[in-house]
Amino acid sequence: MKTKRSLISIIIPCYNEYDNVDPFYKSLTNAISDSSYEYEFIYVNDGSLDKTLQKLHTLAKKDRRIRILNLSRNFGKEVATTAGIHHANGDALIIIDADGQHPAELIPAFIRKWEQGAKVVVGIRATNQNEGVVKRYGSKLFYRLFNSIATTKLVPGTTDFRLIDRVVKHEFARMTERNRITRGLVDWLGFKQEYIVFHANSRIAGTAGYSFSKLFSLALNSFVSLSLKPLYLSFYIGLVILPASVALAFGSGLEMLLHDPLHLHITGTAYLVMLVLFLLGMVLISQGITALYLSHIYTETQNRPLYIIDSENSLGIGATRP
Ligand code: UDP
Ligand code: MG
């Protein structure tokens, strides 16, 4: 069982969060002030363009629980989170956003569920009324589409605000793929999951680093990395097209034979154009899908490291602080 001195790692990916570092740190330390566990705060600076890194180093002078992983450039939140997970020493790891949108005061509730035996505790976001229509309906559509085609199911509203036990961390570390969506991989791992519903706050400061195009490519990536079904899509489309084109040929033949009873005056050329355009569209779609998978295979076979740590500007990567 958990001893009172178990270590809990808090992993905080940061990209241009200069204005949020201090307020977030305050809410974090408030949230755990009564806790009897030991803590380490792993800030992952994901190639911020502002002075986030300097701010983190200043903060670290006051608090020895802080460790800083400075990535050599922006690798994206999924990889930044992964780097934090890899370097954490805790018996439990909690991943939380740096912008204050994930309420830190819920951390004790996450820990309680872990104490009761959950290996993964997932924060579920109650619908946010302030969110843009595109984002809200976009995410609804994503979950519906995803769950209808993927073998690993995603629960709508689940976020990266989650706790994982060290056992789960250990298994997570074995997954080497480059195109990754952290929560998808954690879900794939299984283990006993518990949920905590929370209302997302507004960002303390700044704007979300995830633009619409970034979110779109994230959705696309998770389709490809967690499901092979899109590869078969062209086969199914072909299955529909084949009888359809036969029916079309039969219908037009009949029209011709019966001297155009519907007065459609459809010329043979028109049919041909329709057919060619249709088939061209299909071919392009299936080629596109294949290219998508190929590009994933390509990046996987390059076998580059997932991230690069700029160790000179990091603090305590070797687990202990100097
Ligand atoms: N983030 C990151 N790298 C990026 C983009 C974002 O580490 O390329 C961090 C960011 O600092 C924040 C978290 O990931 O702590 C969530 O990002 P953001 O608030 O931009 O996105 P949201 O999920 O709230 O739309
Ligand atoms: Mg945010």
pLDDT of residue 319 exceeding 80, the answer is: no
pLDDT of residue 209 exceeding 70, the answer is: no
pLDDT of residue 73 exceeding 60, the answer is: yes
Q: What is the position in ligand 1's atom list of the atom closest to the CA of 76?
A: 8
How many other CB atoms are there within 10 angstroms of residue 228's CB atom? 12
pLDDT at 128: 61
Q: Pocket of ligand 1, candidates 24, 97, 135, 158: which has the most ligand atoms within 8 Å of its Cβ, to mutate?
A: 97
| Mean pLDDT in residue range 64-72 | 95
Q: What is the position in ligand 1's atom list of the atom closest to the CA of 80?
A: 7
255-307 residue pLDDT tens: 778 887 777 777 778 778 777 777 877 787 788 788 888 888 887 887 888 99
- Residue 165 per-residue DSSP state: E
Our answer on whether the CB atom of 47 is closer than 6 Å to any ligand 1 atom is no
129-182 residue pLDDT tens: 566 777 778 878 888 888 787 777 777 788 889 999 999 999 999 888 877 888
Question: Could you tell me the residue ranges of all domains in the chain?
Answer: 7-227+305-313, 229-302
Nearest residue (by CA) to ligand 1, atom 16, is: 97
* Cβ-based neighbours of 168, under 8 Å, separated by 6 or more: 119, 120, 186, 189, 191
Residue listed under structure tokens 């519903």: 197
In 3D space, the residue among 187, 2, 29 whose CA is nearest the CA of residue 111 turns out to be: 2
Q: Pocket of ligand 1, candidates 24, 77, 131: which has the most ligand atoms within 8 Å of its Cβ, to mutate?
A: 77
In 3D space, the residue among 56, 48, 4 whose CA is nearest the CA of residue 28 turns out to be: 56
What's the rounded Cα separation, in Å, for the pair 258 and 171? 69
Q: Please identify every residue whose CB atom is under 5 Å from ligand 2, which is an ion.
A: 99, 101, 208
Q: Which ligand sits closest to the CA of 50?
A: 1
pTM across the whole model: 0.74
CATH class belonging to 7-227+305-313: alpha beta
Our answer on whether the CB atom of 211 is closer than 6 Å to any ligand 1 atom is no
When the pLDDT of each residue in the chain is averaged and rounded to a whole number, the result is 85
Q: Rounded to the nearest whole angstrom, what is the distance from the C-alpha of residue 206 to the centroid of ligand 2?
A: 9
Q: Rounded to the nearest whole angstrom, what is the distance from the C-alpha of residue 202 to the centroid of ligand 1?
A: 13
